[in-house]
Structure 1
Amino acid sequence: MTGMCAAPRRRRVTRTTTVVRTGLAALLALGAWVSAGAVPASATAGGPAPVAEEPLSPGLLSALQRDLGLTESQARERLAAERAAVAIEPKARSAAQGAYGGSWFDADSGRLTVAVADARKAAAVRATGAAVRIVEHSASRLDAAKRTIDTLAAPRGVGSWHVDPEANRIVVNVVRGERTDNDVAAFLDRARRAGPVQVREVAEAPRTFAAGTVGGDPYYTGNVRCSIGFSVHGGFVTAGHCGRPGAAVRGWDGTHIGTFQGSSFPDNDYAWVNVGSGWWTVPVVLGWGTVPDQLVRGSAEAPVGASICRSGSTTHWHCGSVLAKNETVNYSQGAVHQMTKTSVCAQPGDSGGSFISGDQAQGVTSGGWGNCSSGGQTWFQPVNEILARYGLRLHTA
């Protein structure tokens, strides 16, 4: 499908009222509500908060079992191992210094693996608790090559590209059957001149998924339905392709919420909307009855290989794994940079919705390929980048 904007669709008041009451009960106990007229924080950039070790939600465990094929005990063990990996990663990066080649979570071993381009740094990295793989290229070398590739005009047969620390290459994803196209071949030749490249085939070209301020809930701008990402103090963040600055935003019930205060697409795919007119911000992501509504407690970034879940107004709650970071995605409207790729499915109307790992906000849904019947992949724009760009502060419980 193309032009992934969903026509407006109303929901019954009873469902949203139930969801908001659930959030109210949890949040009133924490004193976490912000008034409708709150002013957005100005120049304070939102950084990652410490990873909270809260009791695991039975619904979250069930979703991981369903979407990742785990038993309950395996899901518990994996989440504990991912928390440990998040804590180790900055220490390992510091120990590797300029030889750092990237990192990923190995679900089989339950450990963080760190690529190191200098064997003399291996012992210091292992001392942090990470596994080590000696590689040829440092992350800085690969990142520089990717920045060069980012300057190239990509044909439609090229879906995306990113630095893959495990492969120690820039992986260029080409739509199946398009590799022999003259324009695609020319792009690959230029990319190889920039640095080490590996070509992989993908089933489809990526496209966007446009279709209260509770993550995953729908909102409307013009004739487009999208999904709320995360509440920030004074509004919420979402996808940039859902609206331009000044565009009016209506809530699930058709009433005015606010307007797009900032928006970028393509190049980036993020935006933020202010909240007023009786609406308020809530540090909650909808579980849509699949899992309990999830409180947002921070924005510590999950590593490649970690489990992750998504909430959106079309397909609701689905989980998968982080596949790649800092990937450049080549939409028909233009390239979007610094995206994170996941194995989670999505469909039209899910754009802008929440990606969350445990209780840590990860990013807002941008686009992808496939659907939630046959499967697919979805990209998100990392939330910490959005917070820093607009000087916003994440609303946390």
Structure 2
Amino acid sequence: MKNTKLNALSTVTALFASIATLNGLPTTAEAASAGKSVTAPEVSPDMLNAMRRDLKGTEEQLMRRLNFEAKAPSLERGLREQLGDSFGGAWLNEEGTQLIVGVTDEASAARVRRAGAEPRLVKHSKARLDQIMEELNRNAHNAPDSVYAWYVDVASNSVVVLAENNTSLMASRAQSFAALSSGAKDGALRVEHSAQAPRPAYDVRGGEVYFTGTGAGGSYSACSVGFSVRGGFVTAGHCGGAGIPTLGHNWQAMGTVRASVWPGNDWAWVATNSSWTPQPWVYNHNNGNVLVQGSNPASIGASICRSGNTTGWRCGTLLATNVTVNYSAGPVYGLSTTDACADPGDSGGAVLSGNQAQGVTSGIAGGCANGNPPRTFFQPVNPILNAYGLSLVTSGGGGSTGSFVSRMNGKCIDVPNANFADGVQLQMWTCNNTNAQRFTWDGARLKIGGLCMDVAGASTANGTRIQLAYCNGNRAQDFTLSPAGDLVSYLADKCVDIEGFNANDGAKLSIYTCTGTSNQKWDFR
């Protein structure tokens, strides 16, 4: 395979050199001597795996694409300068191996062909499309909520306005906004329907502030995020009861408290909305993140560090476990205590020992600045995870651990009778948080009991069973979970499927063409 990569690279390098010579652009050697490399960077196996999954190409095809993509910007810049006002934009073909250039006249088209690119005769120049964009930007304050975005689409030689125009009123509003641009008159602008509004993407990380409350009368309470779990984060129960909405550190809607216990225990978990991505990090309040790799309980005397919104990152040692604290609201059992100080507002924040999650901050006796010996109490994290069947989001240390839960019936992928043997077909079973349902996932391979989830016989046929097998690096053991909840085999490009929509314990698993039905939808948590 190494020779294939080198041959592909040398072929594209030679091609680019000839294009550059014809076009008056610097050759590869000249660019290199000027310190401007045009060679594709080294590509990690993870990136190639992701490209294979999403762009559907062989390694040779993907390397050819990457090598050409590294050189295309220089070719585009040269043609843009030469063509001037007749330049209509440039884009790559579907395979990423050919530069297509829009031109407004035949003379420019001939010039593009001589340079080795593919011309496309268009009506509007890129400068004209950019002018329309500027007009829309100047009127951005007039855009209704039903208008989501606008941009230059060089391939269609137009400016696109994305809008929710599935009703006549919304369509009318979108057209009214588009009419503020001169592009509406000469056909250079078009309104395109979008089913969903774009939304921001934020990270959930331990130790950062979040707010609970309805905002009635400006009433909000501030607490700190504990640890990210699949679908949200864990925190202290006294920060807010079940059903209460939450806002993030940026005052954007974050999610809802799904469950909360206080007193007796002091734990809660928040289910975040789709704008927030739980990350395996705890903020150290010095522009850095501490990675979380697991939740192994520390020994008495071990170093303890905690992160919270009020006092930031503070450290001490573990003094005791299984502590009962008699709060004014009532006793809380099974807490741990440390001399790492904390203050109000740190509640719920992450407590770690090294890279292992220990718990969420519960209460204090003596703070960070009052001169009294500090004593901080925290709720251990593992009982929270066990109480709600949650999976900690971790980084490194073998990958993330959790269970695959069917959206059809709420049951888990299971190893029958915990028989971790080569060739055992996987099944569905009522979720019970046992090792027979706890997978470790590195983003591609799913491991359980020392074996890997596998497509039997590396077959791509519908109905091929999902089984356990010795981990061997075969593509039949690579899977991905799409944002839509499809657990897809890389090898077959087919979904893990509950056979016959069987909702009972013991239902078997196999691969089948992805259909979007509920028996193929999964959550990892």
Q: TM-score range by the shorter chain?
A: 0.3 to 0.5
What's the TM-score, normalizing by structure 1? Answer: 0.46
In terms of Rg, which structure is larger?
2
TM-score by length of 2: 0.35
